[in-house]
C-alpha cells in the first residue's frame, strides 16, 4: 500500500474509533432517572362520539 491509501485508512480508523468511544461514553454516563421513558406511556384514549359507517 502506498502513502495516500494508508492515510485514508488511518483517517477511517480514527473516525470509527471516535464513534465507538463516543457511544461507549454516552452509555456509561447515561442517567436514566433524569430522562422520561419514551415507549412505556399509555396511549391517548380515543372516544368516538358519532357513527360514521355510512
Nearest Cα to Cα of residue 26 among 18, 36, 16: 18
Higher pLDDT among residues 1 and 25, named by residue: 25
In the chain, where the domains are located: 3-34
pLDDT digits (tens, 9 = 90+) for 14-36: 999 999 999 999 999 988 788 77
Instruction: Give dist(CA 18, CA 25) in Å, integer.
Output: 10
pTM of the model: 0.57
Q: DSSP letters of 22-49?
A: HHHHHHHT--GGGS--SS-SPPPPP---
Percent of the chain with pLDDT over 90: 52
40 pLDDT band, cuts 50/70/90, is low
Residue 54 has pLDDT above 70, yes or no: no
Tell me the pLDDT of the chain averaged across its residues. Answer: 86
Amino acid at each position: 500500500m502506498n502513502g495516500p491509501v494508508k492515510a485514508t485508512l488511518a483517517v477511517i480508523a480514527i473516525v470509527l474509533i471516535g464513534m465507538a468511544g463516543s457511544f461507549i461514553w454516552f452509555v456509561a454516563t447515561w442517567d436514566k432517572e433524569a430522562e422520561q421513558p419514551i415507549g412505556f406511556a399509555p396511549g391517548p384514549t380515543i372516544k368516538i362520539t358519532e357513527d360514521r359507517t355510512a
